Every structure is written in C-alpha cells, then in structure tokens.
Structure 1
Amino acid sequence: MNPGLWALGASLIALPLAITASAQQAPGLKAVSSFDGIADKGARSVALFEEMGKVIQHPRCVNCHPRTDRPNQGDASTPHNTPVTRGPDGHGAPGLECATCHGPANVAFSNGKGSIPGHPDWHLAPKSMAWEGASLGAICEQIKDPKRNGGKTLAQIAEHHAHDGLVGWGWNPGPGRAPVPGTQAEFGALTRAWIANGAKCPKV
C-alpha cells in the first residue's frame, strides 16, 4: 500500500463522515426460540425474516448494496466521498480500487473520532443485489432468487450470513459507526430457522 495514497484516502474520508454515533452496544436480535409461539409455519417464517431485516436494512449492510454504482457511507448513508464507482467487478474503478484506501482491517483515526473501514476483500455487492430503498419483502424475494443472488442456494445464503467475513464486519465496523444488532451467530441462526420454516417473505 502506497503510504501517500493511504494518507490521502484517510484525509478525504475523514472530512464528510461528520461522525456523531459512537461504537456503542447495538440492540440485540430476538432468539429463534422466541418465535416458537407462532403456530402457523409460514407466519413464523415471515416473522423470522422481519427480525433478520434489522440487520439487512441497517446502514452497515445497505451502504454496500446501493441502488447506484456509488457506495454510501456512515450511519446516515450519504454518498461515498471521494466519488468512487463500482468498477467492473465491484472492487472499484481501475486506478481507484477500494483497496486504495480500504486496507485489510479497520484503521482508527489518530484523533479517536472515527476510522477507515477495512477488510481483506472490501467491495460492493453485485449490482443484482442492490437493495437500497427496497421494501423488506422485495429484498427477501431478491435474496431467494438465484438469478439475482449470485447463484446461491438457500443453504449457501445461510452459510454466507453466518460465516462470511465481510458480512461479519457489520458487527465490528470500527470507531464512529454503529454496529448491526445482535451477533453474526444469531443472524445465521435466524436465517437457518427462516429457511426451515419455508423461507417465506413479507409482503412486497
């Protein structure tokens, strides 16, 4: 990593963050067992997905599932600064790839008031998985559709939710960003239960 580019990226990203949120403890997710009282299996599946929606529709997730080719950032989901673009494979345009500024791990600012997010494979979700502004029901149908979810089966979706490292970043977003609710293990368990109960979706 070129130190000059890293420093430039840090200064450019720091300016628009206007960080007001602290990395406080996020609210939890309901346990799978808390849905056992819903007798109808389909209704239980919908309720489980609605609980999953607390993660799916959180800024940590939506910011990397934008409806345009430009990611969003921060808890307010403002357009990314600098004005980067998706590029041919979601890793940024040639010469200004995501990895220019986003390294393999979060980097806290020296003033303690924020951080540059990082992950070894930092990138945008595929355009087919853009769900910024979509209803939870529409996102659910999108997640289930192999033509729009990268060819994944439901079992692979559950594995992705439970163990994917970039998904897991949402629970460890670095100083200045609110983490998604609960834990990745809880999110994975909710996903498996949603599938086991029929993978039903809320109304679009």
Structure 2
Amino acid sequence: MRAVTLLLVAGCALTGGALISAVWAAAPAATPPPPAQTLKTAASFVSIKDPTARSVALFTEAGKVIQSPRCLNCHPVQRAPTQGDDRHPHNPPMVAGQGGHGPAGLPCAACHGPANVATWGQDIQSIPGDAKWALAPAEMAWQGKSLGAICAQIKDPARNGGRGLAQLHEHLASDHLVGWAWNPGAGRQPAPGTQAAFGELVQAWIDTGAKCPKA
C-alpha cells in the first residue's frame, strides 16, 4: 500500500491530478476520523471572577485548537507546510510560493481539490481539500511560537489580515477553511471540540478584554 500511496502523490505532482482522479473514483469509503478531543465550554469559565484571569483562561482553552496540528501545519514560520499529527515536512516538498498557493508550475490545487478525497493508501488515507485551500499568509505564521505570542499576533490587525476583533471572531467561528480543522479527512485527528464551541470561547475571550497569556 505504501508504494501505491507514493505513486498517487507522485502522479498528482507530475500531472496535476489527472492520474489519481481515476484511482480516487474507485477508492473505498474513507475510514472515519478518530474521535475529537474535548474542549471546555465558555460557560465553564464563569466562576473565574477576575475578567483578566478569565480572559487569559479562555484564550488558553481556545489555544488547544490554535496550537493543534490541524492549524499549525498551515501556519508555518518557515513558509513551507507541514503534515500529520507530528508536523513532518510536506511530501512532496512544497513551499508557499507567491500568495501562499504553491510555487509556479505546482500550485496547491494540483493535488488539493475543493473537498477531502479518500485514497487507497494506509500511510496517507486521504488528501485534504477545501475551496480556499492555501498556506496562511506570512504575517499569520505562528508555528513554534508561544501561546502568548500567538495571542498578540492574532488580534493585531497588521498581522491578522486587517481584522478587528469582531471580524476575527467571524473568521474563526464561521470560515469554512477554518472549519476544515474539525473535518480533516481520514487518518487525521480533528481539532479539539467543535468550531461552534471554539467560536464561543473566542467571543467570550473578546468580551472579557481579549487578554493574552504571558509569552
């Protein structure tokens, strides 16, 4: 199966997906993803009376998502995506290129379609996809940073795509590509909780002053 998986990946890189399209069409049903990890609700933090302490606690809980492999793999500082729960280098080798959509001649869309697709492989059980699949912009790269540093970065309009806090919440709570983290395809651990629960944590964090953990 490993040889088949490598053939699929190589074929995708060489032909822009033409070779693997036929194989995908006959692929078996994808293995259900592993059970998602838990995420505390925003309501579970109301017992923390100090707003600053509660805000920090809320973001720390939301950080379980932000620092999960599903997010970190697409927010690398080195401008090259990583893969898997162990965040190993992307195979085949890949870089962001101009605009975060891959280098000239091998865009992300050569292998990543608008939705996840099952494969025959065991090492690679599915190839992830979304209509907006791309690497996060350089100013939004945070793999390897502390949660406090990520917090400061994520609420800074100069480094979050020009978003105010309300727009940041909308992005994290509703964006379909962000939501992929909870539907990552077979062979990948989903982000903790649900996007709805994550969005509630982010909103409660904003409502308590959007305070950050110490770096």
Instruction: State TM-score, norm by structure 2.
Output: 0.85
Match of 1:137 among 133, 140, 148: 148
Shift of 1:9: 7.2
Equivalent in the alignment of 1:120: 131
Which of 184, 194, 198 is the aligned partner of 1:173?
184
The aligned counterpart of 1:50 is 60
Q: Specify every segment of 5 or more residues in structure 2 that has no aligned partner in the other structure, as ranges.
A: 1-11, 22-30
Which digits, 9 at most, give the CA deviation of each residue in 1:78-105, with x for residues without a partner?
1111111111101111111100000111
Q: Map of 1:1-204 to 2, 5 A cutoff? A: 4-6=15-17, 23-111=33-121, 114-204=125-215
Distance 1:130 1:46 in 2: 21
Shift of 1:110: 2.6
CA deviation profile, 1:115-147 (whole Å, cap 9, x unmatched): 000001100111011101000000000001111
Task: Note the C-alpha offset of 1:3.
Answer: 9.9
Is the contact made by 1:22 and 1:178 (CA closer than 8 Å) also made in structure 2?
no
DSSP-derived class of the 2:98 partner? coil
TM-score, normalization by structure 1: 0.90
* DSSP-derived class of the 2:99 partner: coil
**Structure 1 residues without counterparts, runs of 5 or longer:** 11-20
Partners of 1:9 and 1:117 lie apart in 2 by 14
**Which letter does structure 2 place at the counterpart of 1:141?**
A
Q: Judge conservation of contact 1:22–1:177 (CA < 8 Å) in 2.
A: no
> Contact between 2:148 and 2:214, CA under 8 Å: does it hold in 1?
yes
CA distance in 2, matches of 1:34, 1:169: 25
CA contact under 8 A between 2:95 and 2:102: conserved in structure 1?
Answer: yes
SS at match of 1:92: coil
What is the RMSD of the two structures over their aligned residues, measured on CA atoms?
Answer: 2.1
Aligned residue for 1:190, secondary structure, equals helix
Amino acid at match of 1:142: Q
CA gap of 1:63–1:110, structure 2 versus 1, over 3 A, is same
Change in Cα spacing, 1:32 to 1:111, as seen in structure 2 (3 Å) is same
Equivalent pairs counted in the alignment come to 194
Change (3 A) 1:73 1:97: same
Tell me how far 1:23 sits from its aligned partner: 1.9
Q: Provide closer, same or farther for how the CA distance between residues 42 and 8 of structure 1 changes in structure 2, counting only shifts above 3 A.
A: farther
Identity %: 59
Letter in 1 for 2:91: N
Shift of 1:7: 5.8
The one-letter amino acid of 1:138's match is A
